[in-house]
Chain A
Amino acid sequence: MSILKEQEVARPEMDFEKSSKDTGSILCTGLTLTATLLIIAILVVIIGNIAWFGFDKFSWRFITAGLEEQMFDVERAGVLPMILGTTARVFLMTIFVLPVGVITAIYLTEYSPKHSVLTRIIRGAVNNLAGVPSIVFGLFGLGFFINFIGSNVDAIFYPGSDKVIWGKPALLWASLTLAVMTLPVVIVATEEALRAIPSGLREGSLALGATKLQTIARVVMPQAMPGILTGAILAISRAAGEVAPILFTGAAVFVPSLPKALNQEFMDLGYHVWVLTTQSPNVDKTQPLLYATVLTLLILTFSLNLVAVLIRAKIRARMRSVH
């Protein structure tokens, strides 16, 4: 043990006054603040622009009419069929994509051996699926769901009929195509949610004599629900605005009645934007309609998201209070 004499170690005076400016910190704060403000500004400009010009024609009548009126008639056009069509296809897509996505994620996280060939194939497929352009999904939907499955269903169940029942663009096929497209999103979000659950919880359940399935169903899944719903929210957001996948699989310029059956075509808000832009006899005159349609689409997407967010918040609140 050495005893340091005071003369040997000259320590500087304790002075905690800030002497120099921390330029690095200031620069960093400034840059990140600028970036944040820029993003908010862009968002405000886009939404503001749409809201400003769309508000003119956006009214209760606008969103509840649209069946009989001419869609290019600026005074009397409505978008009710398009709202219902978009909502229906998003809703159906969710019904298809959630079970398949969640089960796949459960398999990948809980069951599959970590480095098996099958696991790597599935992961590779999911990653590649995420990178496919939307229009390719549209073509896939046309080729696989409509031309292959649809026409075979017709051949098996309605032989001899001269009417095409399932082998044509339809609400069902468009929804399935969207489900295939948003599958990676749901799988990844669910996997994240499952991985966030500590393994101690699973061990505790197994040590009580539960099977793996019981552990997953009764302990793991309830915990993962908020994360799974996040995946659903992301899928809904993406799908509500997509037009390319439904181009050949179900969207139509004009359908005389509201979609009542799954094998009917439907009108869609995003598709209607394209219709107003390219099929309108007088593009300048129908521009207010265009803005109003886009505004409706934004509000619809926002509302669908809001519903899912509220469901997720309710589940989170219930998990916290446990009653």
Chain B
Amino acid sequence: MLSNNPSKESVSRRKIITTKDLNLWYGASHALKKISIDISEKLVTAFIGPSGCGKSTLLRCFNRMNDLIDHVRIEGGIEINGHEINRKNINVIELRKRVGMVFQRSNPFPKSIHENIAYGLKLHGLADRTAIEERVESSLRGAALWDEVKDRLNSSALGLSGGQQQRLCIARAIAIKPDILLMDEPASALDPIATSKIEDLILELKREFTIVIVTHNMQQAARISDSTAFFYLGELIEYDVTSKIFTNPSNRQTEDYVTGRFG
């Protein structure tokens, strides 16, 4: 049962991601069932739902990361910025440049902090050393990490704490200036203080990027997102303004989940 009741703000915003009857199978298992959803530009949209409901799977569709898994079949339309991306001959490299991703477990490269960020820049053609250094600084500032690491840019990224590593991954992702930032439970492996730093960061980042965040932490979704989509067993149950989902949801299942009756 789908209730799509956008607020005034999200109505006026452009829809940057649109799916139409999206189905996904892992082998024989039907993981996403006829998902139709619009993500608005420069807002934070949260995907919530119990484990295994398909929220991460859907997220990974937006940058074609499900291509890396064997036996995945995707049917249906996924449009990003008006371009259909669920077809054979799209430029996946360009797609991933414009749709960045931050993973649940931070995965900095075993290189220096500077090299971690420069990696993506060099991939996409930036060669001038000064320009690279400027971008490294601006993205570290953008990820609220600059002050902590500015004196040790050449030391290994693996020497940072968990929260710092995750912020480094965010810096790395935003350095190449994507339009959309997909975040798959970015703070689930972090302590409360690090989590709150990341949440503050997300509220800052949404000024520049469209953010879609998967989270199993409902309080987090309520704190930082503008719209929230609730998924259950591969179906989109309800998608609405965050305040409505958490205070007055239309759907019984949604209400049961957000009030903690199951999950």
Give residues in A with beta carbon < 8 Å to B.
113-114, 198, 200-201, 203-211, 214, 218-219, 223, 319-323
Contact = CB atoms under 8 A, between A and B. Distances in A.
B102 to A, nearest CB: 8
A89 B169 CA distance: 47
Given A209-B94, A209-B176, A204 B154 contact: no
Interface string B64-99: 010010100000000000000000000001111100
B15 interface: no
A208 B107 contact: no
Given A201-B109, A322-B111, A208 B119 contact: yes
A290 B103 CA distance: 63
Interface in B24-79: 63, 65, 68, 70
A292 to B, nearest CB: 47
Across the A-B interface, the 3 shortest Cβ-Cβ residue pairs: A209-B97, A200-B107, A204-B107
A204 B112 contact: no
A113 B123 CA distance: 26
A207 B106 CA distance: 13
Interface in B100-114: 100-101, 103, 105, 107-112
B107 A203 contact: yes
Contacts of A319: 110
Nearest to A211: B93
Contact of A209 (B68, B120, B156): B120
Contacts of B109: 201, 204-205, 219
B96 A207 contact: yes
A153 B105 CA distance: 56
Interface residues of B, number: 31
A206 B96 contact: yes
Given A203-B103, A209-B93, A209-B96, A218 B65 contact: no
Interface string B111-130: 11001000110011000000
A208 B68 contact: no
B194 to A, nearest CB: 19
Nearest to A214: B123
B105 A200 contact: yes
B98 to A, nearest CB: 8
B172 interface: yes
Nearest to B113: A322
Given A207-B101, A208-B176, A114 B70 contact: yes
13 contacts: A203-B107, A204-B103, A204-B169, A205-B119, A207-B103, A207-B173, A209-B93, A209-B120, A209-B176, A210-B123, A321-B156, A322-B112, A323-B154
Contact of B100 (A113, A207, A218): A207
Interface string B3-40: 00000000000000000000000000000000000000
Nearest to A215: B123
